[in-house]
Structure 1
Amino acid sequence: HISGIKSAANMVIEILPLLCFAFIVAGMVQVLLPHELLAKWIGKESGLRGILIGTVAGGLAPGGPYVSLPVVAALLRSGAGIGTTVAFLTGWSLWAIGRLPIEVGILGLRFALIRIASTFFFPPIAGLIAQTFFGGAK
């Protein structure tokens, strides 16, 4: 149907600038951050520190998957640990601090606090599991 094609074209037009920005940021991450710095703080050997950094960074990361996934891909290519990146994505999807104001406005403070309390430990746990079982995987 022609209206479906028009709708899809409008979505592409809306998302394309965001995708371009995300890929630029992802490319800059690879170039601007020294490999030694990444290895120390979020690399495969960074352990719990890297996982906690990934958790907090993911929880604070703005934007949708069009922004976060290219950034995570760039971090992986730059040497970030699997535990760190899993913690980042889990924190991004579960904590979503950037969405908190609208969540409180629509669902109420009590619900938001219950959701945060219920999911608080999952991002670092997911990172630890990923690092433990898949830390050596390529």
Structure 2
Amino acid sequence: MKPNQPVKNKQQKPGKKRPRKGPWIFLAATGLLYLLTALFNSGKAQEAGERFIHLVLEIAPLLLVVFVLMTLINLFLKTEILLKYMGKDSGIKGWIISILTGILSIGAIYMWFPILKTLMDKGVKPGLIAVFLYNRGIKLNWLPLMMLYFGMKYVIVLTLVTVLVSVLQGIILDFFLKPGKDAVSA
């Protein structure tokens, strides 16, 4: 190396995202396992393939709904409004919105992940996402049945503890993670 030649920095340039290798490694490993299974037990491999196709056909319509929702969020939900109600200065409004939307949300949890990731990328506090996820455990339609088996006092205490602990968990996450930065790094 020449004495006056600048040293090349191998670190990532600002504004550029590093390609994520993890999902591709997982996909390759899964494919390899299917191949190994096919070599040793073709019947099991065929059964696994049929289950995979059934699962894809079951999930595809739900993914379409998720993509439509994500597109609508990106088109119509302005970042300023989102940050006002769920950003770092949202205050108690953000906590209440996260608790209520978590309780009222429906559908499979994994379908919410891409939507929540989009919201987090727009600046929603990581703690509010955690509160939403935590409060999905409270299902209004199951409360009467729970009261039948466990009694009203138990259900009320359990529900209140779930809400309070979700907020505590959210506060802890916000302490350790910064919105849009640390929270979504892979």
TM-score by length of 2: 0.62
User: Between Structure 1 and Structure 2, whose CA radius of gyration is higher?
Assistant: 2
Distance in 2, Cα, partners of 1:97 & 1:132: 30
Which residue of structure 1 lines up, in the alignment, with residue 21 of structure 2? none
Number of residue pairs the alignment of both structures matches: 134
Q: Quick check: 1:59–1:91 contact (8 Å CA) kept in 2?
A: yes
Which ranges of structure 2 fall in alignment gaps of 5 or more residues? 1-43, 182-186
Report Cα offsets for 1:28-82 as digits up to 9, x if no partner. Answer: 1122112111111001221332122112111211111232112201111222111
Aligned with 2:94 (options 50, 53, 70): 50
Q: Map 1:1-138 onto structure 2 (within 5 A).
A: 1=44, 2-92=46-136, 94-97=137-140, 100=142, 104=145, 108=149, 110=151, 113=155, 115-135=158-178, 138=181
Q: Quick check: 1:82–1:131 contact (8 Å CA) kept in 2?
A: yes
Distance in 2, Cα, partners of 1:30 & 1:126: 28
Task: State the structure with bigger RCO (CA 8 A, min sep 6), 1 or 2.
Answer: 1
SS of 1:26's partner is: helix
SS of 2:151's partner is: helix
TM-score by length of 1: 0.80
Give aligned-pair identity as a percent: 25
Higher helix share: 1
SS of 1:121's partner is: helix
Alpha-carbon deviation of 1:21? 0.7
Distance in 1, Cα, partners of 2:70 & 2:174: 22
RMSD: 2.5
Distance in 1, Cα, partners of 2:180 & 2:73: 23
Alpha-carbon deviation of 1:117? 4.4
Amino acid at match of 1:28: L
Which ranges of structure 1 fall in alignment gaps of 5 or more residues? none
Which residue of structure 1 lines up, in the alignment, with residue 33 of structure 2? none
